[in-house]
Chain A
């Protein structure tokens, strides 16, 4: 238990039987567990104990899983390295001295180190897929609306989904089957179309004969040489097994990182307004001179870490008078453009493939002083959230600097297709 993967280690036993009976699951600490503290990796929620279970937690228990603890994460999900946690950084069990990726770094590390059979993460802009790639495990970001967000502490609601992490594609698919389903408590959940294949675990049959894989040139351009070589080898393996590959172009992704950060920060500035130190959250330590605003500002100064402050402030800026049209509205235009680009691509290919991360795992501390450099590392994952699509990251190999993930993206509710393709590599 030396990787600091958990913030709280406590067992919650599930029902006696079910699809996950006998399996242990680690749950990211922004997913509510009744009676067990849920910190979001933040000082402000250090002592917060939810009065109810998230829908996914109810589903885990009903499926017979045993929850083994709440995993460490970038504060409120804001980071790509799991170094912004108020509970200290997580180490990468698969690459010593390097970060595990983020923001679900604790969940990926717990699975990679064998501290849990399976784990739940949340993915707003790559937060399941990035740590899966860096720790050499499998992670799935479901289609927006497939999995309930009820009980997930919101960072950017329009982008995020809860998703599974596991050692193999088949196990991740089994967990996804338990998580998926509409929920009266989350009006953004949707049933997959009637003709969608939803037997996800059975789809992990490795059969890629006849599959057409599109490779977006824009998502390869910025990739590190070592990462690119491993990606090409993985594609060659899929071709050997009967898939065909073809280059495609997605010009809109050049604006995706900008659009993603403007939208995510704007939504965060609104969502995090609730942490005022009155209903929950740490209260301020300043003089109580009768000014509520000063009292809230003091509470939020001690409760939030630097990356959270940075994003809330930039989001507030992007939504403020005079700047809304320039940033937020243009970001929404870019989001529509990205979505349209992916829709056209799927007219001629079955799945899209790219390296999950353009770079190998960073050395610890490397990216902390330059937030913009950290944001740029999300170039290949954020377009998928903007387009509401499903994607999987599967281990593709290792460079001297650590594991490399292959990302496969499918059309909406095409989880079975990306699971099938991903399982051909394992």
Chain B
């Protein structure tokens, strides 16, 4: 299985993670090995799954939540009680 560097750059862009050129080179090589290893999944037989599922319901009652102050506490930047993101041009 081979993966080229453009595929690695494309998937990094989908995942919103910047990579430097060294990382692109390393991942290109490693992804080929790892995805090659995953090929064994092609031989998995079809199995009739027998899921043991049960609905888990609860009453829809209003409960205490976080305060605005608690919710904003970990944000790198806030303004007037809101999260502050990058500027939209």
Q: Which residues of A contact B (CB under 8 A)?
A: 47-49, 51-52, 184, 187-188, 190, 254-255, 258-259, 261-262, 269, 273, 276-284, 288-293, 295-298, 300-301, 304, 306, 309-310, 312-314, 316-318, 320, 326-327, 330-331, 333-334, 336-337, 339-340, 371-372, 375
Contacts of A310 in B (CB 8 A): 27, 30
Going nearest first, the 6 A-B pairs with the smallest beta carbon separation are A290-B89, A301-B18, A280-B74, A295-B86, A336-B49, A330-B41
* Bound-complex Cα distance A283 to B87 (A): 13
B34, B42, B48, B77: which contacts A371 (Cβ < 8 A)?
A: B34
A284 to chain B, nearest CB (A): 8
Asked if B49 and A258 sit within 8 Å, CB to CB, the answer is no
> In the complex where A280-B74, A290-B88, A306-B23 touch, is A320 in contact with B30 (Cβ < 8 A)?
no
Q: Are B47 and A313 in contact (CB under 8 A)?
A: no
B18 touches A300 (CB 8 A): yes
Q: Tell whether, in the assembled complex, residue B87 and residue A288 are in contact, meaning their CB atoms are under 8 Å apart.
A: yes
Residue picked from B23, B70, B85, most chain A C-beta under 10 Å: B85
- Whether B49 lies near A297 (C-beta < 8 A) is no
Quick check: B44 and A255 within 8 Å, CB to CB?
yes
- Whether A292 and B86, one on each chain, are in contact in the complex, defined by CB atoms closer than 8 angstroms, is yes
**Residue of A255, A296, A318 touching B16 (CB-CB under 8 A):** A296
B66, closest chain A residue (CB): A51
User: A334: which B residues are within 8 A, CB to CB?
Assistant: 41, 44
Contact B76 A289 (CB under 8 A): no
**Chain B: interface size category:** 35 or more
State whether A330 and B66 are in contact (beta carbons under 8 Å apart), knowing that A291-B86, A320-B11 are contacts in the complex.
no
- Provide the bound-state CA to CA distance between A300 and B15, in Å: 9
The 27 listed contacts between A and B (C-beta, < 8 Å) are A48-B74, A187-B56, A255-B40, A255-B41, A273-B16, A276-B16, A278-B86, A288-B86, A288-B87, A289-B89, A292-B88, A296-B16, A297-B13, A301-B17, A309-B19, A309-B27, A313-B15, A313-B27, A316-B14, A320-B14, A327-B41, A331-B41, A333-B44, A336-B48, A337-B45, A372-B30, A372-B34
Q: List chain A residues, Cβ under 8 A from B34.
A: 261, 314, 371-372, 375
Q: Is A291's CB under 8 angstroms from B15's CB? A: no
- The reply to whether A337 and B75 form a contact with Cβ atoms under 8 Å apart is no
Assembled-state Cα–Cα distance A330/B44 (Å): 7
Please state if A292 and B27 are interface contacts (CB–CB under 8 Å): no
- Distance from A319 Cβ to chain B, minimum over Cβ atoms (Å): 9
Tell me which residues across on chain A come within 8 A of B49, comparing CB atoms: 336, 339
When distances are taken between beta carbons in the complex, the residues of chain B under 8 Å from A291 are 86, 89
Question: What chain B residues lie within 8 Å of A284 (beta carbons)?
Answer: 86
Inter-chain CA distance A278–B85, complex, in Å, is 6
Given contacts A184-B58, A277-B76, A298 and B38 within 8 Å (CB-CB): no
Complex Cα–Cα for A273 and B50 (A) = 31
CB distance from B69 to the nearest CB of A (A): 9
**Which residues of A sit under 8 angstroms from B19, Cβ to Cβ?**
301, 309
CB under 8 Å from chain A, chain B span 46-89: 46-50, 54, 56, 58, 66, 70-71, 73-77, 83-89
A282 touches B76 (CB 8 A): yes
Please state if B41 and A279 are interface contacts (CB–CB under 8 Å). no
A301 to chain B, nearest CB (A): 4
Let me know if B4 is at the binding interface, CB within 8 A.
Answer: no
